Structure 1
């Protein structure tokens, strides 16, 4: 175990410097000297962690061992040594002894290597301006000083380890708690959902990396939770990261952590999400949004199980099962140079497609029932119920925003219906007018209502049928959307507003259904 492995990535505790200074004070009470210092060795460089009798500028210096032969000799010595007054090796502390009216050379110098749990930690150095100061310090006394200091360093390291574990456990608890907030089941009995559950149960027990594919809002996070619950890692943490919400400058730090001073604003060491998920599962949502530089580091972790914190040379090993999710077309992103092909193949060891809501038939009613129950408790309503017309409207809606859109629609409808009926009502009936989906619902129409007046596509109004429900739904969407765009003269913003959709989602749906919008004018 190297010195860096035991010290460089531990939390920075405000009291550690005080403990080191107290050690040096005890040393100076046992041995008369003008200055004493504790130097920590990291990557061939010694840095002062505490000084007593040396100027403050010493704390800012970094002494490369290769450039300071006295330090090199001390580190190589088995039990320390004292340099003779006429030694011609340059002394690193010349002119650094504090409280002197002028720059004075050190005339008596001795020191010893310090070891922490069997590994070389650094140096204890003692210096004096008089050549005969250390005549009375024999090997036995020097050994006692070394043992005293090493015991103090070990105690400080123990405190650091405890603080690091506590900080990591706190961060892990927060990450674990956030991953379990509002956890829901994968509801639905449609053929598409039954097939998805079989796939989850097949791959869940393995450690294979899974790539979840599907449109936005289909519930990929719920699939990730079920995969984790079906794995041997179930008792370990499931840590979720929304890659799309990570600023590019912080994505590296968020995933892999960082060491204090690695960049501006890094005022303390930080544990990354990979370390927090060690032994468990890391869910990378919207993985297609990661910067290319971070993709390269992610690939390394997937290949070797090793990572490095920014600002640290230490290599960490982690045992993490990765589940990634995206609604992007990653092969297209690869062709455009925005996603690494090798990372894509590492992530897609077992791809799983989460079906859109429009492909799940009557599952929409089961999902709506779950959302109604949640809103019923939230609002304090007695009974929230869907009217038959509302059920028809839900089944007919194309749901371009999928389950998330349904959740929001039910929440809004519940609030409107509750305000309309009041707290005293025995039940609160949700009607199509509360859902605001009338324009896209296949609702019951009066006998004399014409397709043109109702907005219903002529193919469905005339009794035309298609082979499957999905084909019927797409035919409905295609004709309704084409008519909507035509009514607004090709103005997609106005057409999207009437459809109650985001313009980008609206445009995407038009392309999918092969509808070519003519620009206005």
Structure 2
């Protein structure tokens, strides 16, 4: 390649260095220039984070690639690219599996990448990530000059540096990593990323960043399965309390007589079985954040005591008359309309207003456009690793089916669907190391007929759930009740309090009925 074409390809990137561009647009232009300089079928820019390679931009690869997280030690080609400071090309006969097999965009059949090369991006003499080029023609890169890719990689590194400085990423990266490590140690949970590029998710992320730097109480609302706990974790990581613990409690999972003890602690002898003093969740979260999940299920008596803690930072352990001070930031979450609950007299207005200082609504998956494909890519990569496969991807009809579906169970439903479908496909084709999931593998319609039907009004004279009476009225009634309760529990992820509310029953009565029907 002569100097003139090289200069022509690199000049727009040099001009972009002096322009303030969104990170995604800057990286898209980078790959456009790369493919103009070095013709290929696909190109990708990946950032190295610990032991993971995270795609920041792809050109010529399927959309779900952006949602994937590639573990370096599971992909030997990535290992070799990172280990060499110079560009590396893999022989077309190389036995090493290619991470992009089956992911080249616009191809409906399952094809292997035949010509592959790439190089690391070095910033401050350390590997920042990778640039990769792939082609379906095994001879595509025969006449390519490695120096051209090396020159491009140097300019790409400058582009990345500018992008990070503009957005203050370089200064914050080490601190964010440290805070995430403290959080994982304190909570015992793994940090899960918020995957997506839709305007709805970007608005949510902007609000998380905004409120994260404050100490305001946040009320997170949204449908079942949208990821309310994930948002709570993101708010905590963005706050000045990130080095302190994030303590979570599911208010709906606690028996009513134990809620106070769990929240405020108790002293020895406070009730039968209290054989020693015990700290509650507020004390455990002192200096950090307390996440109250399903806060709409709290009894009115507990709401009053919580209100005092939120207002004054003072609490009393159950059975004690001694006040204790705590410094806790509260994030609450619910899928209920608490304003409506207040109007109905089932929720304290003062407690609701204290919780909702900063309301934060999570959009359902059906309003997040093509984020479903990025999330699918993330879950596909997790399942590929669990099943020990070389590749796991979505066929074109599967992508269309995912985009057309309304996702009543949101992200949680998608996660379970991908895991279930991957396992079934692997079981049917256990001899294959590279699997593509079709719409038939996803089996979306069959898997969601019951939950979808439960949200629709039955026609007159038609039971909302199918059952086959055998002539015995009692057995037919029990069968109907059992199916209805099971379907309701499935919709609410086995949250008995939420199921009881939908069924119009007291929670204790539902528990008694479930035991009679052998559901417990």
Match of 1:207 among 195, 198, 215: 215
Residue 491 to residue 333, structure 1, CA distance change in 2 (3 Å): same
Partner of 2:34: none
Deviation at 1:420, TM superposition (A): 1.1
Match of 2:228 among 217, 220, 235: 220
Residue 440 to residue 360, structure 1, CA distance change in 2 (3 Å): farther
Partner of 2:401: 393
Could you give the per-residue CA deviations for residues 250-292 of structure 1, whole angstroms, max 9, x where no partner exists?
A: 1100011000100001011101110010000001011011111
Partner of 2:439: 432
Match of 1:326 among 324, 334, 352: 334
CA contact (8 A) 1:400 1:505 kept: no
Deviation at 1:406, TM superposition (A): 0.7
Could you give the per-residue CA deviations for residues 284-315 of structure 1, whole angstroms, max 9, x where no partner exists?
A: 01101111111111100000000000111111
How many angstroms apart in 1 are the aligned matches of 2:182 and 2:237? 19
CA contact (8 A) 1:292 1:340 kept: yes
Residue 337 of structure 1 pairs with residue 309 of structure 2: no
Deviation at 1:490, TM superposition (A): 3.7
Structure 1 gap ranges (5+): 1-172, 442-454, 456-476, 509-521
TM normalised by structure 1 equals: 0.53
Q: Secondary structure at the match of 2:267?
A: coil
Residue 247 to residue 281, structure 1, CA distance change in 2 (3 Å): same
Could you give the per-residue CA deviations for residues 173-204 of structure 1, whole angstroms, max 9, x where no partner exists?
A: 99965844243111101110010011111111
How many angstroms apart in 1 are the aligned matches of 2:352 and 2:193? 28
Could you give the per-residue CA deviations for residues 115-139 of structure 1, whole angstroms, max 9, x where no partner exists?
A: xxxxxxxxxxxxxxxxxxxxxxxxx
Residue 177 to residue 254, structure 1, CA distance change in 2 (3 Å): farther
How many angstroms apart in 2 are the aligned matches of 1:235 and 1:271? 20
How many angstroms apart in 1 are the aligned matches of 2:297 and 2:455? 30
Partner of 2:119: none
Partner of 1:410: 418
Compare 235-244 and 431-440 and name the one that shifted more.
Answer: 431-440
Could you give the per-residue CA deviations for residues 225-270 of structure 1, whole angstroms, max 9, x where no partner exists?
A: 1100110011111111111111111110001100010000101110
Compare 406-415 and 374-383 and name the one that shifted more.
Answer: 374-383
**Higher RCO structure (Cα 8 Å, ≥6 apart):** 2
**Following superposition of structure 1 onto structure 2, how do residues 90-239 of structure 1 map, counting pairs within 5 Å?**
179-239=187-247
How many angstroms apart in 2 are the aligned matches of 1:300 and 1:503? 35
Could you give the per-residue CA deviations for residues 455-510 of structure 1, whole angstroms, max 9, x where no partner exists?
A: 9xxxxxxxxxxxxxxxxxxxxx99x997x966x97432249999xx94588899xx
Residue 176 to residue 293, structure 1, CA distance change in 2 (3 Å): farther
How many angstroms apart in 1 are the aligned matches of 2:389 and 2:299? 46
How many angstroms apart in 2 are the aligned matches of 1:199 and 1:180? 26
| CA RMSD, Structure 1 to Structure 2 (Å) | 3.3
How many angstroms apart in 1 are the aligned matches of 2:455 and 2:274? 51
Structure 2 gap ranges (5+): 1-180, 468-479, 493-497, 499-520
How many angstroms apart in 1 are the aligned matches of 2:299 and 2:447? 39
